[in-house]
């Protein structure tokens, strides 16, 4: 039946009807709040390119995680800003490294608090800013890097991380991390794999925040080409074979097609990473008065859920959780 019998507007006529047939729900428990934790910085250090986000000391990070937990946010995700960097990125697997210390501090202070997810990568710890160790010719050495990533993941698990999330895009890292975790007694620690991570312009503000801009070259020899969707599905399927428990699509907004495709292809829980540049665009437009921040953020996050994301990693997490709580009143 078509018009005039069928009128799509009937079910849009009131808030009650719209609520009754709403297809997609956004909950604070589905959100993950990323945090930058610095080893020797001040308690709170603003990040110029990410208004509202700060680099935090370990104790400030504990307080932030407490606040996230009180808002019902599902997890925090830790990125380390180490005091020193070196050629191999050895701060990444240091038992006294910034992420290890912060993880222990958060888990100890908030045993029932939000989950702690750790980012497993070398770029924040290496003096050259690439995501792995370099060969003499300057290329990233895949297999040598994978060993170091596995060591890093185990040190995070030992510190109490609830999930580990490798973001480097080396081949075979999920399988090696799984084997090392199992061998070290962490068979129950899940891996959230950054499966489809694209070489994106939208990571710019993050690299400011974490001080991880590559000293030379770019990340296109390991991160995905933004033009390639089938290759992204293949990456995700390989991660499933290697033992990933969750897969990720990153960035989120320009990759909605792949959120759907990878969800269908893998049947795994899927996280979408609403990255730093996507956050910065909204904040800049809102600050200029070009759009309504609250409405824009809730629309973006809902659209990611509709596209198929189970979990959303977003710098808007705390604001969004507050808005959702206010809506529920």
- Minimum distance from CB of 260 to ligand PBG (Å)? 21
CA 128/CA 105 separation, integer angstroms = 29
Position of minimal CB gap to ligand PBG: 206
CB-wise, 131 or 301, nearer to ligand PBG? 131
Phi and psi dihedrals of 27, rounded to 5?
A: -125, 150
Q: Which stretch binds ligand PBG (CB under 6 A): 91-99, 109-117, 119-127, 230-238?
A: 119-127
Cα distance between residue 60 and residue 63, in whole Å: 5
SS3 22: coil
Q: Determine contact, residues 44/81, Cβ cutoff 8 Å.
A: no
Residue 26 touches ligand PBG, criterion: CB under 6 A: no
Q: CB of 126: closest distance to ligand PBG in angstroms?
A: 11
Based on the shown chain and the rule CB under 6 A, indicate whether residue 207 belongs to the binding site for ligand PBG.
yes
| Of positions 36, 93, 186, 203, contacts ligand PBG by CB under 6 A | 203
Closest contact distance (angstroms) between CB of 316 and ligand PBG is 12
Task: Please report whether residue 125 would count as binding ligand PBG according to CB under 6 A.
Answer: no
In the complex, minimum distance from the CB of residue 277 to ligand PBG, in angstroms, rounded to a whole number: 6
Q: Is cis: bond before 251, omega within 30 of 0?
A: yes
Q: Indicate which residues carry an active-site annotation.
A: 197, 250
User: Residue count at the site for ligand PBG (CB under 6 A)?
Assistant: 11
Instruction: Please spell the DSSP secondary structure of 125-161, one letter per residue.
Output: TBTT--SS-B-TTS-B-HHHHHHHHHHHHHHHHHHT-
Interatomic CA distance for residues 163 and 190, integer angstroms: 5
161 binds ligand PBG (CB under 6 A): no
Is residue 222 a contact residue for ligand PBG (CB under 6 A)? no
328: its two tokens: 């529920």
E strand residue ranges, 12-82? 31-38, 44-46, 54-56, 75-81
Q: Which is nearer to ligand PBG, 170 or 298 (CB)?
A: 170
Measure CA 171 to chain center. 19
Work out which of 47, 62, 119, 249 binds ligand PBG, going by CB under 6 A: 119
Distance between CA 266 and CA 193 in Å, rounded? 12
Residue 198, interface with ligand PBG (CB under 6 A)?
no
Residue 255 as a binder of ligand PBG (CB under 6 A): the answer is no
Applying CB under 6 A, which part among 36-44, 56-64, 105-113, 117-125 lies near ligand PBG?
117-125
Residue with smaller CB distance to ligand PBG, 103 or 167: 167
In terms of C-beta density within 10 A (0-12 exposed, 13-18 middle, 19 or more buried), how is residue 28 classed?
buried
Binding site for ligand PBG (CB under 6 A): 119, 121, 123, 131, 167, 203, 206-207, 219, 275-276
């Amino acid at each position: 039946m078509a018009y005039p019998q069928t009128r799509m507007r009937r079910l849009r006529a009131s808030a009650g009807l719209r609520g009754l047939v709403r297809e997609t729900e956004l909950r604070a428990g589905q959100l993950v709040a990323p945090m930058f934790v610095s080893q020797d910085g001040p308690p709170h250090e603003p990040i110029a390119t990410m208004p509202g986000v700060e680099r935090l000391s370990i104790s400030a990070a504990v307080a932030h995680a407490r606040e996230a937990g009180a808002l019902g946010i599902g997890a925090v995700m830790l990125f380390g800003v180490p005091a020193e960097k070196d050629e191999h990125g050895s701060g990444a697997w240091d038992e006294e490294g910034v992420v290890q210390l912060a993880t222990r501090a958060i888990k100890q202070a908030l045993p029932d608090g939000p989950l702690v997810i750790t980012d497993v990568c070398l770029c924040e710890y290496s003096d050259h800013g690439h995501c792995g160790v370099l060969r003499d010719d300057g290329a990233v050495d895949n297999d040598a890097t994978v060993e170091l990533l596995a060591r890093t993941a185990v040190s995070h698990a030992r510190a109490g991380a609830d999930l580990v999330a490798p973001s480097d895009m080396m081949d075979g890292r999920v399988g090696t991390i799984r084997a090392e975790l199992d061998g070290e007694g962490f068979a129950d620690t899940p891996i959230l794999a950054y499966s489809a991570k694209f070489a994106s312009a939208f990571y710019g503000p993050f690299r400011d925040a974490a001080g991880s801009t590559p000293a030379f070259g770019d990340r296109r020899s390991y991160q995905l080409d933004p033009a390639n969707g089938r290759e992204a599905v293949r990456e995700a399927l390989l991660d499933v074979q290697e033992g990933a428990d969750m897969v990720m699509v990153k960035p989120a907004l320009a990759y909605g097609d792949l959120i759907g495709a990878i969800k269908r292809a893998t049947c795994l829980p899927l996280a979408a990473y609403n990255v730093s540049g996507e956050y910065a665009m909204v904040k800049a437009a809102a600050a200029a008065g070009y759009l309504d921040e609250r409405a824009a953020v809730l629309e973006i996050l809902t659209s990611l859920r509709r596209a198929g994301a189970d979990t959303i990693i977003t710098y808007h997490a705390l604001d969004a959780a507050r808005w959702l709580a206010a809506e529920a009143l």
